[in-house]
Chains A and B, each alone.
Chain A
Amino acid sequence: MAGAQAGSTRPMGSGLLKQIALFGGGLLVALLLDFTLDKAISDSSIRQLLMMAACNILVALSLNVINGMAGQFSIGHAGFLGLGGYSAAVVSANLHEALGGGEATFGKSFIVVPVSLLVAALLSGIAGLFVGLPSLRLKGDYLAIVTLGFSEIFRLVIATAQIGDKETIAHAWSSAGSPRGFVHAISVMITSLGGQNGYAGPKDAGVPLYAGPFWVVGLAFVLGVVAWRLKFSGWGRALRALREDEIAAAAVGVDPTRYKVTSFVISAVGAGIAGGLMAMNRDGTPIVQPDSYNFQASFDAITMVILGGSGSVTGAAIGGVFVTFTVKAIELLQSTSAVQALKQRFESLDLNALRMIIYAAVLIALMIVRPEGLLGERELFQKKAPSPAKAK
């Protein structure tokens, strides 16, 4: 592939050193943050906001792979976030029990967080393959509706589970010989996720919150670098060629289905990690609820990517931070006395609905006036645009 050759002709020595320094520096900062953030910022709501911003950067980065780089349109990102969140919560809670419970220490997090995130990423990736393969094989925008269906069904299956019967999972599986028993066992497993009330560990003691700033900020940084490298790799270039002209790209040997499905699976894996981190976030709530993964969450993710600029890694990060802060600002606004007084007069005033209306209107206007978003496909901190003439 042309991209790979272009990569190898670059002077590697100093670049590699620089990258190692960058990586090490980023991780060191994240490590420092883990110990100092509590003391530096005493207000837990601001800490929560910062951690949320880091998580949302991951959300935007992962969606950017499929919506920005590959030029497909996924509108069910919340489904993969939810799958990641629930699986990370289940794994970490059970692992926590197995490790003897107690406090969620920093040392133990080196066992719990990687394992939970691995499971989350794996499950999301498999789901991504299952959703992406049939819909990306075709021309047309089937991915949009299939992802929407997937995320809504994921949420509804968990939310509408009838809680009440306290049959254990092990007991249900022991009688799962027949197809009927098998279905029953699955429904018992779904029921154990707590339905509408949410999942709070096997003994309702809460999901252990292992992911401190080291994990959240560190992973946001590492995966940001990964996304950047992906974009400028041969793979990223092939993807861009495919996005601009599918027939021409296919004619020079880029298999459309393979590249689209791979990028969708990568996007799903990223969403799984992001969702897992959100569920285990140290400054978050020790419970995962189906309502956090509704369509609004998907739409927020789309807003992040579109606002920042589809296809831009730094743009997605900016979009993620921006949306996080807007959500918080609306929350703060909601508690002010002026808004409360307004609410007394107009009972149906729903600030969240108002926020969505504003977002939607901004998005429509942006698409008409400046469809490429804030940065377009450019990057901040990019020295020069990679010109195909020089790469050869």
Chain B
Amino acid sequence: MKLLEALMTGLTQGAMVALVALGYTMVYGVLKLINFAHSEVFMMGAYIGLFAILGLGGAGNPVIAGVAGTVIAMIGSSLIGITVERVAYRPLRGRGKGALTRITPLVTALGVSVLLQNLAQLLFSARFRPYPQLFTGTLHLPVVGGLSTSRAFILVASIVIMVGLELLVQRTWFGKAMRALSTNEEAARLMGIRTSRVIAMTFALGSSLAAIGAVLFCLDQSQAYPTMGVVIGTRAFVAAVLGGIGNIKGAMLGGLLIGVLGEMVKLTDYSGGVDVLVFVVLIVVLLLRPAGLLGTSRVEKV
């Protein structure tokens, strides 16, 4: 029973990690860039969600405050994501030569990450802010046993969103354009795809997912703080690499695996070792299957 319970909690945690991992993997898919700022967009999403939910009535008005607050957080995060892309990444695209083309965007990405994190520290102070509890009580499910209502909601919501995303990527024009861009940017542009717009939309989509992940994460952990992006961001990145970076289904799978793995560790004596294990997983994946579980490695032609 304890194992099953941990499995359910792990899936919940993993679903949230997967939502954040999707942002890393989508941006990597179109730009081949590790967007270090993504974890801080996640954190900003948590704060925007917090203020919006509190402003709309908080726990006294759970349905409206929760839904509207999440939507506001999504819009806010998307704006931050698009701004980051516009200010820090777009001016660099197609410029520089040699090693600079690769290193420069990484430095700006890191710079944006540090900037946002310290901005949050300055604006919201470093203290932990409590998140309003929108869900109370426990569900009694057959087989699994007790599961708190908020966790059940998180799991269901995440799965619905991931299915929706899969439909968006596979069935819509935007999804097709995004996939085309990630396969070959030059060819996509020649086929009449406005690459800059698709890139901006990818950032917006990734940031919205991070905002949903942030609100759900805070419902579970019930606090927001400026450095929260670092821990979840690292886990999410490892999840993306584990599944195969650039691969959307891979990010979902990787996220769930990381979540379950983390909860399994908590059952042992070394509950503090989750992040050490995540790091070890990253090293092992890079050694054994660098393209990730679902990724395929491409041979580079000169």
A contact set with B: CB distance below 8 Å? 67, 71, 73, 75, 134-135, 137-142, 144-146, 148-150, 152-153, 156-157, 160, 183, 243-245, 247, 295, 299, 302, 306, 310, 347-350, 353-354, 356-357, 359-361, 363-364, 367-368, 371-372
Contacts and interface: CB of A to CB of B under 8 A. Distances in A.
B76 to A, nearest CB: 19
B51 to A, nearest CB: 15
B118 A364 contact: no
A156 B275 CA distance: 9
A354 B96 contact: no
Interface centre among A140, A153, A295, A364 (most CB of B within 10 A): A364
B102 interface: yes
A361 B110 CA distance: 11
Nearest to B106: A73
A360 B112 contact: yes
A141 B106 contact: yes
B230 A349 contact: no
Contacts of A372: 100
A243 to B, nearest CB: 4
B107 interface: yes
Given A348-B123, A364-B87, A244 B98 contact: yes
Given A153-B279, A360-B111, A354 B100 contact: no
A302 B279 contact: no
Given A245-B98, A360-B115, A371-B96, A152 B122 contact: no
B123 A243 contact: no
Q: Which of B121, B230, B245 has the most CB of A within 10 A?
A: B121
Q: Which 7 A-B pairs have the closest CB atoms?
A: A71-B99, A360-B115, A348-B125, A353-B118, A356-B118, A134-B286, A244-B98
B193 interface: no
A364 B84 CA distance: 11
Contacts of A73: 103, 106-107
7 contacts: A67-B103, A73-B103, A350-B122, A353-B122, A360-B115, A363-B110, A364-B115
Interface of B: 32, 34, 36, 87-88, 91-92, 96, 98-100, 102-104, 106-108, 110-112, 114-115, 117-119, 121-126, 230, 234, 237-238, 241, 245, 270, 272, 275-276, 278-279, 282-283, 286-287, 290, 300, 302
A170 B52 CA distance: 56
A138 B286 contact: yes
Nearest to A360: B115
Given A134-B283, A367-B111, A357 B122 contact: yes
Contact of A356 (B102, B114, B237, B287): B114
A156 B234 CA distance: 14
Contacts of B115: 356-357, 360-361, 364
Nearest to A142: B286
B87 to A, nearest CB: 7
Centre residue among B98, B107, B286 by max chain A CB count within 10 A: B107
A140 B287 CA distance: 14
A337 B130 CA distance: 34
Given A73-B107, A183-B270, A247-B302, 6 more contacts: A146-B279, A356-B117, A360-B111, A364-B112, A371-B96, A371-B100
B300 A139 contact: yes
Contact of B103 (A149, A160, A295, A310): A310
B122 A135 contact: no
B300 A247 contact: yes
Contacts of A75: 110
A367 B107 contact: yes
Nearest to A371: B104
Contacts of B111: 360-361, 363-364, 367
Given A153-B276, A364-B115, A138 B302 contact: no
Nearest to A356: B118
Given A148-B234, A152-B230, A299 B125 contact: no
B102 A302 contact: no
B121 A350 contact: yes
Given A138-B286, A354-B122, A152 B88 contact: no
The winner among A183, A302, A350, A368 for most chain B CB atoms within 10 A is: A368
B271 to A, nearest CB: 11
Nearest to B124: A348
Nearest to A364: B111
Nearest to A296: B114
